[in-house]
């Protein structure tokens, strides 16, 4: 049962440092001593075999659970403990136990003994009362500071412990890291699989964090799926956090559930920020993550604070600005191969009271992130539809207006209903309203979007794929999406170091689009040479600064009222 090494270590423990060859300490004697120690220990010790059948429990265990038979102990124990994951060799957590004596808090250590092939052999639980007599005030305080689900510190506890730590380490020279982890789409996981499944994810996460941290790391669950860890630099090891996150994923991920875990990291050289400022910064880093990768780390950068302030301003003022008419559409002309005006793209601008004009790149991504984009797009589409109705009886009657559809619009409204509703309301020809849908929108929900495109096409709308080539699966997508137009961005394509290769790509896309029965629009045309070149490749429609920047509707109408369709517009 005991090998020489075990003998040697036990000998050291009891101060018997000589060789054991002539010892009177036999196997039986050693086992006897240990058994006696366990029996009379104040710790609860419970052991199970690989099938979770009780193999040993000391008298303290029977006493704690107030049972007399092994069967009852097995049952009562598992009802309380809920089996932790089998692959973690060691885990340690706190848990409340209610008995006739009231509530007590216990610290539980769980060891899984595995064979060399990694097969579970036995599990040993060592249970110790955290604060003896904690059914009184100690228990109340403990509960205020701890999360009952994971046994870790809760937000209040974490902040309290970090502040205490800070009071001792404020002038330390070493850096610290505050890490906040997030499980992507946790709400959705809960909705699909039920709260119990969600709870088991959180419990496993808590146990793994606890089992891997150093004694001087501070960690807790702030709320929902957000766990926070404060680590001094000497303990910080990014590779270890990657492994930790991968371990959490491997424990929880199942066939039906792929987990993506993200971490926001704030590195501080001094401990001058208070705990809420630290958490804010780690959260900003976390919120900056767009990646769909299974594991992503993002570090706080002061630019994020600036960005957060801008976002706050946009979100705060958006609704009133929309009501107050601060959003306007600007129009940018599109011309055919003879450089005659045939339509335009509606591009939104935010014109503030002080006449400053904010470009869309400064607010559209923010509105997309905060789920407000559909309010703006509905407004822009309505402005475009209104303009088309007005133009019906003017020289602009043949022009179309192309509107942008954000990938997020599809999540918040029935785009088909809104668009067809506008056409009915304003009595316009669907062919005059072109829709630009980006590749990202198509990739997020390919079957849903492709079905919507088919319905819109049946109703006579013209659909274009915006920024073609900027996504990952452009070619594959063309197979399933029956759009009318492929829109290429010159600026995007000519950024390549190798212009010759870009040219070959553009030429091939135009050729391919033609064979698929689609027209091509190239935007970002700035020079006559670009026009010449694209024209020789067979591009159908052109848009860019060469013809005009996006201009206000009034300027557009003034500029094109006379020359429209009568001659080339440059």
**Residue 491 contacts which entry, Ca ion, ligand C2E, none (Cβ below 5-8 A, type-dependent):** ligand C2E
Of residues 75-114, those binding ligand C2E (CB under 6 A): none
Which tokens go with 392? 């019906």
CA distance 124 to 116: 18
Q: Does residue 404 interact with Ca ion by CB under 5 A?
A: yes
Q: Does residue 544 interact with ligand C2E by CB under 6 A?
A: yes
Q: Does residue 348 interact with ligand C2E by CB under 6 A?
A: yes
Number of alpha helices (DSSP H) and beta strands (DSSP E) in the chain? 22, 20
**Token pair 């790149």 is at which residue?**
361
Q: Which of residues 84 and 544 has its CB atom nearest to ligand C2E in the complex? A: 544
Q: Which of residues 320 and 361 has its CB atom nearest to ligand C2E in the complex? A: 361
Q: Does residue 380 interact with ligand C2E by CB under 6 A?
A: yes
Do residues 519 and 485 make contact, with C-beta atoms less than 8 angstroms apart?
yes
The HSE-up count of residue 383 (CA atoms within 13 Å, CB side) is: 24
**Residue 416 contacts which entry, Ca ion, ligand C2E, none (Cβ below 5-8 A, type-dependent):** none
**Residue 544 contacts which entry, ligand C2E, Ca ion, none (Cβ below 5-8 A, type-dependent):** ligand C2E
Which tokens go with 23? 């010892």
Which CA distances in Å does 484 have to 80, 151, 420?
A: 62, 57, 18
Q: Please identify, among the stretches 74-82, 122-130, 354-362, 427-435, the one whose residues bind ligand C2E according to the rule CB under 6 A.
A: 354-362
Among 225, 523, 540, 557, binds ligand C2E (CB under 6 A): 523
Q: Which of residues 57 and 465 has its CB atom nearest to ligand C2E in the complex? A: 465
Of 257, 92, 266, the C-alpha closest to 180 is 266
Q: How far is the CB of 325 from Ca ion (least distance, A)?
A: 23
Q: Please identify, among the stretches 15-23, 142-150, 412-420, 542-550, the one whose residues bind ligand C2E according to the rule CB under 6 A.
A: 542-550
Of 501, 459, 504, 456, the C-alpha closest to 483 is 456
Beta bridge partners of 113: 122
Q: Does residue 364 interact with ligand C2E by CB under 6 A?
A: yes
- What DSSP state is assigned to residue 85? P
**Residue 471 contacts which entry, Ca ion, ligand C2E, none (Cβ below 5-8 A, type-dependent):** none
What x-and-dash track marks residues 359-398 binding Ca ion by CB under 5 A? ----------------------------------------
What x-and-dash track marks residues 427-456 binding Ca ion by CB under 5 A? ---------x--------------------
Q: Please identify, among the stretches 349-357, 362-370, 481-489, 511-519, the one whose residues bind Ca ion according to the rule CB under 5 A.
A: 481-489
Q: Does residue 404 interact with ligand C2E by CB under 6 A?
A: yes
Please indicate whether residue 233 is annotated as part of the active site: no
Among 202, 314, 347, 401, binds ligand C2E (CB under 6 A): 347
What x-and-dash track marks residues 483-502 binding Ca ion by CB under 5 A? ------x-------------
Q: Please identify, among the stretches 111-119, 266-274, 288-296, 517-525, the one whose residues bind ligand C2E according to the rule CB under 6 A.
A: 517-525
Which CA distances in Å does 84 have to 46, 124, 194, 201?
A: 15, 12, 19, 11
Q: Which of residues 229 and 384 has its CB atom nearest to ligand C2E in the complex? A: 384
- What DSSP state is assigned to residue 257? B
Q: Which phi-psi region, left, alpha or beta, contains residue 228 (left: φ > 0; alpha: ψ -120 to 50)?
A: beta
The continuous run of DSSP H or E covering 567 comes out as none
Q: Please identify, among the stretches 77-85, 262-270, 292-300, 521-529, the one whose residues bind ligand C2E according to the rule CB under 6 A.
A: 521-529
**Token pair 């009952």 is at which residue?**
148
Do residues 103 and 94 make contact, with C-beta atoms less than 8 angstroms apart?
no
Which CA distances in Å does 390 have to 368, 386, 387, 403?
A: 30, 6, 5, 17
Q: Does residue 545 interact with ligand C2E by CB under 6 A?
A: yes
CA distance 354 to 237: 50
The footprint of ligand C2E on this chain (CB under 6 A) covers a number of residues equal to: 22
Of residues 456-515, those binding ligand C2E (CB under 6 A): 466-467, 491
Q: Which phi-psi region, left, alpha or beta, contains residue 101 (left: φ > 0; alpha: ψ -120 to 50)?
A: alpha
Among 147, 377, 466, 540, binds Ca ion (CB under 5 A): 466
Q: Which of residues 65 and 350 has its CB atom nearest to ligand C2E in the complex? A: 350
Query: Per-residue DSSP letters for 280-347?
Result: HHHHHHHHT----SSEEEEE--HHHHHHHHHHHHHHHHHHHHHHTT-EEEEEEEEE-TT--EEEEEEE
Q: How far is the CB of 466 from Ca ion (least distance, A)?
A: 4
Write a three-state SS string for 346-392.
EEEEEECCCCCEECHHHHHHHHHHCCCHHHHHHHHHHHHHHHHHHHC
Q: Which of residues 110 and 347 has its CB atom nearest to ligand C2E in the complex? A: 347
Which tokens go with 315? 């979100």
Contacts of 173 (CB under 8 A, 6+ apart): none
- What DSSP state is assigned to residue 146? B
Active-site pick, 74, 345, 439, 523: 523
Q: How far is the CB of 378 from ligand C2E (least distance, A)?
A: 10
Q: Which of residues 278 and 483 has its CB atom nearest to ligand C2E in the complex? A: 483
Q: Which of residues 263 and 509 has its CB atom nearest to ligand C2E in the complex? A: 509
Of residues 185-214, those binding ligand C2E (CB under 6 A): none
Return residues touching ligand C2E (CB under 6 A): 332, 347-348, 359-361, 364, 373, 377, 380, 404, 406, 466-467, 491, 523-526, 544-545, 550
Catalytic annotation, residues? 523
Return residues touching Ca ion (CB under 5 A): 404, 436, 466-467, 489
């Amino acid at each position: 049962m005991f090998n020489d090494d075990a003998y040697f270590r036990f000998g050291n423990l009891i101060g018997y440092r000589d060789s054991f060859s002539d010892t009177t300490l036999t196997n039986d004697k050693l086992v006897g001593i240990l058994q006696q120690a366990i029996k009379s220990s104040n710790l609860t010790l419970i052991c199970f075999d690989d099938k979770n059948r009780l193999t040993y429990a000391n008298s303290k265990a029977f006493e704690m659970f107030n049972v007399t038979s092994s069967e009852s102990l097995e049952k009562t124990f598992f009802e309380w403990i809920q089996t932790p994951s089998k692959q973690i060799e060691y885990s340690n957590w706190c848990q409340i136990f209610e008995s006739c004596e009231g509530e007590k808090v216990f610290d539980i250590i769980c060891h899984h003994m595995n064979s060399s092939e990694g097969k579970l052999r036995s599990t040993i639980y060592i249970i110790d009362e955290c604060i003896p007599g904690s059914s009184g005030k100690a228990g109340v305080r403990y509960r205020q500071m701890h999360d009952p689900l994971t046994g870790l510190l809760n937000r209040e506890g974490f902040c309290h412990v970090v502040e205490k730590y800070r009071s001792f380490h404020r002038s330390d020279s070493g850096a610290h890291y505050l890490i906040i982890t997030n499980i992507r789409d946790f709400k959705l996981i809960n909705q699909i699989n039920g709260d119990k499944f969600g709870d088991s994810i959180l419990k496993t996460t808590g146990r793994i964090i606890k089992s891997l941290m150093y004694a001087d790391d501070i960690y807790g669950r702030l709320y929902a799926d957000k766990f926070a860890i404060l680590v001094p630099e000497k303990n910080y090891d990014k590779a270890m956090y990657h492994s930790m996150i991968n371990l959490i994923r491997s424990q929880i991920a199942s066939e039906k559930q792929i987990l993506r875990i993200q971490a926001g990291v704030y590195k501080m050289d001094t401990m001058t920020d208070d705990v809420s400022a630290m958490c804010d910064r780690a959260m900003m880093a976390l919120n900056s993550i767009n990646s769909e990768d299974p594991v992503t780390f993002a570090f706080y950068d002061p630019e994020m604070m600036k960005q957060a302030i801008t976002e706050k301003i946009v979100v705060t003022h958006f609704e009133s600005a929309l009501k107050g008419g601060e959003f306007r559409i600007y129009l940018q002309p599109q011309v055919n191969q003879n450089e005659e005006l045939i339509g335009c793209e509606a591009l939104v601008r935010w014109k503030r009271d002080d006449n400053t004009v904010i470009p869309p790149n400064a607010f559209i991504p923010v509105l997309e992130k905060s789920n407000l984009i559909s309010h703006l797009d509905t407004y822009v589409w309505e402005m475009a539809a209104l303009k088309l109705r007005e133009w019906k009886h003017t020289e602009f009657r043949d022009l179309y207006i192309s509107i942008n559809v954000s990938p997020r619009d599809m999540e918040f409204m029935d785009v088909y209903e809104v668009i067809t509703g506008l056409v009915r309301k304003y009595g316009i020809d669907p062919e005059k309203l072109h829709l630009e849908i980006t590749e990202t929108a198509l990739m997020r929900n390919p079957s849903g979007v492709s079905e919507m495109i088919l319905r819109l096409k049946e109703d006579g709308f013209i659909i274009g794929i915006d920024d073609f080539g900027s996504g990952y699966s452009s070619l594959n997508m063309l197979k399933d999406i029956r759009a009318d137009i492929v829109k290429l961005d010159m600026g995007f394509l000519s950024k390549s170091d190798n212009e010759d290769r870009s040219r070959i790509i553009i030429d091939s896309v135009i050729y391919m689009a033609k064979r698929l029965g689609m027209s091509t629009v190239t935007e970002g045309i700035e020079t006559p040479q670009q026009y010449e070149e694209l024209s020789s490749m067979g591009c159908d429609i052109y848009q860019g600064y060469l013809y005009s920047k996006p201009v206000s509707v009034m300027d557009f109408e003034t500029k094109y009222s006379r020359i429209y369709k009568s001659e080339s517009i440059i």
